[in-house]
Amino acid sequence: FRALEEDIKNGSSEAKENLRFLNFLKEPCEKLAAATPPEIPAILPELLNYVRMIWSISTHYQKEDRISGLLRKMSNEIIKRCQATIDLSDIFAGKVETSMVKLQQCIDCGREWKRAYQKTVRLLSKNTDRPWTFPEGSIFLQIDAFVQRCCDLLEVCQGLQQFACRFRGQAMPAFGGTKAGEISNSIYEIEDNFLKNLSRLQFPHVDYDILDVRAPKWPDHFGAFKNQMRDLE
């Protein structure tokens, strides 16, 4: 019984200490949960400093699996905040200018998160005998995939800019000469082929959320789309 009582006391002490240290993260995490992608990089140094402090002085939370778990949660929240700004229906409706800005903001945000983490790793390796040696893949696997997904969608937008002027409501250039009609028809045919190819990135061909990095079929669908794009070029 005494051994059980001691285990309960130790468990209670550990829980109290963990709660005390995790409370430091409450305010910056609330900021992160309300931030837009351009606002996120300014929040990261504070968040990482608190995680570094927990790693350095906490008795019970300074374990690799717990700290890497915290960092993964931060990665997931950053993905969530970025996903909230991207409207796939706008992209496929041809509203590419605003979509391209948002996609680039998400790409920059994801890359800045990785840079901020790597900077913290370097600081710890210089200033402490307990550096972070977590495999980066365990923390950044999903956010790297999300950044790549945004890069893919940026290519879709660029394709719409290049091949789908009429679809996007833009006036076709005027061609002179005896072959004007032939040139215009050729451009219309290219656009029709592009839009047919684009439709294969939409429902029912794509029956999953494109922004979900856990969806395994996207690389195949996007690869086929890119191959068709090369044929049009």
* Percent of all residues in the chain with a pLDDT value above 90, rounded to a whole number: 65
- Judged on CB neighbours under 10 Å (0-12, 13-18, 19+), 195 is middle
Check if the beta carbon of residue 91 is closer than 8 Å to that of residue 99: yes
Give the start-to-end residue ranges of the domains of the chain: 2-232
* Percent of all residues in the chain with a pLDDT value above 70, rounded to a whole number: 87
Residues of the chain with pLDDT under 50: 1-11
Q: What is the pLDDT of residue 3?
A: 46
Q: What is the pLDDT of residues 47-70, one digit of tens each?
A: 999 999 999 888 877 889 989 999
Q: What is the pLDDT of residues 194-212, one digit of tens each?
A: 999 999 999 899 999 999 9
Spacing of C-alpha 48 from chain mean position? 19
Sign of the alpha-carbon torsion through 45, 47, 51, 53: positive
Sign of the alpha-carbon torsion through 32, 35, 41, 45: negative
